[in-house]
Structure 1
Amino acid sequence: MADQKYVTLQDDGKVNGNVEISHQVIEILLGIATNQVEGVYEMRGTISNRINSLFGRMNHGKGVDVVFQDGNVTADVFVYLEYGVSIPKVSFEIQRSAIEQLKFMTDIDISQINVHVVGLIAKKSNGDVERVTTDKKE
């Protein structure tokens, strides 16, 4: 079955009509929730994301891939963490925060959220940052 582009929320039958939420909205929600977790430096982006950010255009859904299939919502989150943080603690907090925000804002239960730590960012004493990554999309 092909991936769905929208998830439809079910009503208790009192109101006629549908509420559909696109996968881009879910990506944005998860991206914002992830960025608010302490220890996350940034999300993985593409060259176009970096160019857009230079012009002040933010893509809050960057670094998040969402799939709706067979009534399940799964997400992959790709992050760079600050050097020195506990990777398991930050990763579990990303999952907790993302699940909580998605449930609160959309009433959608996510069946799986996978956190991919694709690099670390080390801040040097002179203010520069060193990006340590194995991400091939970088």
Structure 2
Amino acid sequence: MSGFDNSGAVRISPDVVATIAGLTAIETPGIAGMSGGVSEGLAKRLSGKNVQKGVSVEVGQLESAIDLRVIVNYGSKIHEVCKNLQTNVKESVMSMTGLSVVEVNVKVEGVVFQEETTDALQKVK
């Protein structure tokens, strides 16, 4: 006997999936940060506690779909960065939650020079 029975259910909060996806995204090479949306024509870069910003998720009992809004580093091959991002997020969410990830959609909302990334991250801290 395995010690488990089917008398209950486990539900994963969309906030948990969003946090996993956001943290994985900002750890992906080429990603400068998450975008909180476009305000007055400028994307706001977010990191740290705000990793859920720029992430939208739909979570069912067995599946999830994830939308990411990101800013990439200038000089990166955007299509390669986004493909790696999709793979990394899908694998992280699947391994940590057991949910099947049916899609990871990426919207690139900005490009930033490396110096700007460093300055912005220092202001956030």
**Displacement of 1:71:** 5.7
- TM-score for both structures, normalised by structure 2: 0.75
- Other-structure match for 2:88: 97
| Secondary structure, counterpart of 1:89 in structure 2 | helix
> Is 1:114–2:105 an aligned residue pair?
yes
- Other-structure match for 1:83: 74
Structure 1: which 5+ residue stretches go unaligned?
Answer: 1-12, 131-138
How far apart in 2 are the matches of 1:60 and 1:77?
10
- TM-score for both structures, normalised by structure 1: 0.68
Q: Is the 8 A contact 2:82 2:106 kept in 1?
A: yes
Give the alignment of 1:1-138 within 5 angstroms: 14-45=5-36, 58-68=49-59, 72-123=63-114, 127=115, 129=116
Give the helix-richer structure, 1 or 2.
Answer: 2
Q: Is the 8 A contact 2:13 2:59 kept in 1?
A: no
RMSD of aligned residue pairs (Cα, Å): 2.6
Percent identity, please. 27
Structure 2: which 5+ residue stretches go unaligned?
Answer: 118-125
Matched length: 108
